[in-house]
Homo-oligomer: A and B are copies of this chain.
């Protein structure tokens, strides 16, 4: 009957952080949105910042899981295609997380978590991409992978800002064609 209140708090917090920004969201607002007393959050998280960390961690775990496909070897073209597909699908299904993440990633204070969780994933992705580009005969696979990564990143952010103009799926085809996939 009673849904998990910790989850309700996290959902409410993620929604509000994404919508209004971390700094503009009060604990009171989260509690109201979650339909819960203000103090309850502190049974599950040490502080507002710890709640943010919890949300980011949970989000990155989802990313990690959606990236598990890379653990098995694939032909490079398929691997790249899968990367795009998986990324776009994860963004589509976790818009609030990605809005929050991209809104926060440039702030020094948060770079700590990001450097742990995100930087690893980023490094892994860049390496995997470089390997695949090398297999495909690209001249500068490292630069190529950075460019590719930045392109996907930029697409995601622009999609989050203005989903109608920047439809991920319509551009996906163009990318595949561009990379002869």
Q: Give A contacts to B, CB under 8 Å.
A: 19-24, 99, 102-109, 111, 140, 143-144, 146-147, 149-155, 157-158, 160-161, 165-166, 170-171, 174-175, 178
Least Cβ–Cβ distance between A38 and chain B, in angstroms? 12
Q: List 28 A-B contacts (CB under 8 A).
A: A20-B108, A21-B23, A21-B107, A21-B108, A22-B23, A23-B24, A102-B106, A103-B106, A105-B161, A106-B157, A106-B160, A140-B174, A143-B170, A143-B171, A143-B174, A146-B166, A146-B171, A147-B151, A147-B171, A147-B175, A149-B158, A150-B151, A150-B154, A150-B166, A151-B155, A153-B158, A154-B154, A157-B157
Q: Please state if A107 and B20 are interface contacts (CB–CB under 8 Å).
A: yes
Q: Which residues of B contact A147 (CB under 8 A)?
A: 151, 155, 171, 174-175, 178
Copies in the complex: 4
Sorted nearest first, the 8 A-B pairs with minimum C-beta distance are A154-B154, A23-B23, A150-B154, A153-B154, A151-B151, A103-B106, A150-B155, A21-B107
